[in-house]
């Protein structure tokens, strides 16, 4: 789901500039995304307690489906504002959900390794998606955002599948400890 942002990061500012938006407006759009992300991180612990990491990941994927599908339609400026506010969900929720999922499912003595592998995997996926985004943008222009939407949908479906297969409810069980 993090890789769904590749097209956004690589081409949205250039595209918005070509549409006639000023650099100040483009910077403001990016700032809105960052503010929404900060707000999610501020209240994320409460959200995680209520819905758990897999639901948070699924919500981020569904938000990516909505956000990037709408961006593929080349919306007017007024519509870009709420779409940028979705960054809190598309980036923030998926980041926070992944970190929490790894923390909940990894023994404490392996937590650092698991978080490093998760970060490496996200970076690799983002690299591949960035390369693909360039190829798609050349061929399809802003329709390349549909590929981003598809990545978000795939991520949401994986999170929902994992949630359905989860053998216990959130809050049950406990921390994994080494046998004595």
The tens digit of pLDDT for each residue in 22-55 reads: 999 999 999 999 999 999 999 988 988 899 999 9
The mean of the pLDDT values for the chain is 92
* CATH of segment(s) 2-164: 1.20.1250.20
Select the more confidently predicted residue: 179 or 147: 147
User: pTM for the full model?
Assistant: 0.88
The tens digit of pLDDT for each residue in 125-168 reads: 999 999 999 999 999 999 999 999 999 999 999 999 998 887 65
User: pLDDT at residue 56 above 80?
Assistant: yes
- Please give the average per-residue pLDDT across 68-75, as a whole number: 97
CB 1, CB 143: distance < 8 Å: no
Which is it for the CA torsion 110, 112, 118, 121, positive or negative? negative
CB 140, CB 155: distance < 8 Å: no
């Amino acid at each position: 789901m993090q890789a769904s942002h590749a097209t956004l990061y690589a081409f949205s500012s250039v595209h918005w500039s070509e549409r006639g938006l000023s650099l100040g407006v483009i910077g403001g759009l990016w700032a809105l995304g960052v503010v929404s992300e900060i707000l999610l991180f501020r209240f994320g612990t409460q959200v995680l307690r209520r819905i758990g990491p897999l639901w948070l990941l699924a919500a981020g994927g569904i938000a990516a489906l909505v956000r990037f599908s709408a961006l593929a339609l080349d919306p007017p400026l007024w519509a870009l504002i709420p779409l940028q506010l979705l960054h809190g969900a598309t980036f923030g929720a998926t980041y926070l959900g992944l970190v929490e999922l790894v923390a909940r499912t990894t023994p404490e003595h392996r937590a650092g390794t698991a978080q490093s592998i998760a970060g490496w995997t996200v970076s690799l996926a983002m690299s591949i998606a960035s390369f693909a985004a360039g190829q798609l943008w050349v061929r399809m222009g802003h329709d390349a955002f549909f590929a981003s939407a598809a990545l978000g949908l795939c991520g949401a479906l994986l999170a929902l599948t994992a949630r359905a297969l989860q053998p216990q409810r959130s809050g049950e069980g406990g921390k994994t400890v080494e046998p004595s």
